[in-house]
A and B are shown apart, each in its own frame.
Chain A
């Protein structure tokens, strides 16, 4: 044995049967009062959201604060925010899979679910932001009777249509493929005919024969390989929406890596927020989603937080070094202009606060990481606010300057979108095994002695 021993990935003396029982319990038992209370609150917020979205579609985008010169507002900010959240899920499920990080198995399912739901939440915003959402099919290149007039493939906004829809499709498919064997487990445990039918249909009649597993594992590897460049491309292309324009503050080459790092940073923030709550809601999951797992994610938060901090500083340096007065002004205005508060909220939440994770005590403390992860979420929303609003509100000519007229509807859609996300996430926790059963079982004996087999191997 080498002197370095792995820490066990799953705590307690569990058998394969225990794993199945533990993970299926929330899906099979009647939901508790707390779950209902949370679902009810989330659903109220969701309904509130739907009503406001309906009102905005009915009356028009003028209800929001967007106007000349700040024509991109809460819709775009919150779109980028939610798309970014999604990135951690694909990072965990695809990139860490390729790097053979076994700890990912416990958190991959929920992180991927978060990805799918976050992309769903995000996707609504640009569709409404078009102003006339009933014409959104114009975004697709389809043969039409207007010429045919095609979409402009040179526009970053169109690249975004392709990037986000591909990302949504592939990450949903990836998630579902991972779920097939677990649905089969639920089907075979079903006590009632209805459950058996529903989970039987969802499992597609999965059997788990060695030949099926051979194809399945190959497909999983391929999807991981395809999702890895995909996830890096999505926020790159989202950043092109800004970077390809000529606006000072947007027109920078650092945007793609800076956006991707920020996306992973915010995504892990949300994963930590959700998983600390899942651990409280389902105490038996504490043996699977251990403090060690949370600590690793906190380390990633700190590392990506430093990357984001580097990007903030680099932007300032390049603005000064470029000698371009408009660029210099854009950045001075960000930090010391009328929107100084948003810049410093962003900077403190994303760069200063995660530094607490240098201390092991804080990295391994559930209350501390929960609070920090909330700050990360707030900070990353403000990052997008800073990028979008402060760059637009003062560009080249002072006669073209203005402020963003934040309205009640901006607040409503920002908070309402959390209602949509949380409603779907709570339903997921009740109807889908929140930990990948078939993926956790093979790592059961990592860092442990296998009973009846002498030593480890």
Chain B
């Protein structure tokens, strides 16, 4: 959200979940909660869908597995077949460990890559609502791009939901 908006700050994680639910019920869509740790129940309160990273993990895992099969098959049976102790060129059971390791490696690294893409990391010096939102304060930020946005109305709403502090941001 590279736009301005208004943010309210809370000191209690239960209150901020409740507030987020109310903000959503008030009809806002482009808003987010910023918290120092994952707050239980926040995803349901805001209406965030389940992350799609598992699909990336699955596809990458399958890719890793197939890559390992292809690498071992091609090098051991096609490119330069060598008879090792009379074993078949494609020694299935002996190739399992590398298949397993590459499955895990591809799946893990691609999942991390997916997180970077989905969360738009790395960010260069992003604006901060309050330095304490990574410590003990919990924020709800409503973007001015939201169709229901109205600075005064938002401020009133956040205050009525118990925000201890209100901050207007030119860019967030």
Contacts and interface: CB of A to CB of B under 8 A. Distances in A.
The finding on whether chains A and B are genuine partners in a shared complex, rather than unrelated, reads yes
Interface in A385-428: none
Interface in B118-143: 118-119, 121-126, 128, 131-136, 141
Interface range for B: 35 or more
Nearest to B38: A213
A98 interface: no
Interface stretch (A57-65, A159-167, A267-275, A346-354): A159-167
Task: Find the residue from A141, A151, A210, A223 having the highest chain B CB count within 10 A.
Answer: A210
A218 interface: yes
A453 B48 contact: no
A207 B14 CA distance: 20
A321 interface: no
Nearest to A183: B134
Interface in B74-117: 75-76, 79-80, 82, 84-85, 87, 91, 94-95, 97-98, 100-102, 104-105, 107-109, 111-112, 114-116
Contact of B111 (A17, A151, A219, A439): A219
Q: State the 8 A-B residue pairs at the shortest beta-carbon distance, nearest first.
A: A205-B123, A16-B136, A218-B51, A204-B122, A150-B75, A159-B97, A188-B131, A210-B33
A357 B153 CA distance: 63
Interface in B10-35: 12, 14, 20, 32-35
B51 A214 contact: yes
B57 A222 contact: yes
Contacts of A16: 36, 135-136
Interface of A: 15-17, 20, 141, 147-154, 158-159, 162-163, 166, 169-170, 173-174, 177, 181, 184-185, 187-189, 200-201, 204-219, 222-223, 226-227, 229-230, 233, 237, 240, 437-439, 441-442, 452-453
A240 to B, nearest CB: 7
A189 B125 contact: no
Contacts of B54: 218, 222
B154 interface: no
A185 B134 contact: yes
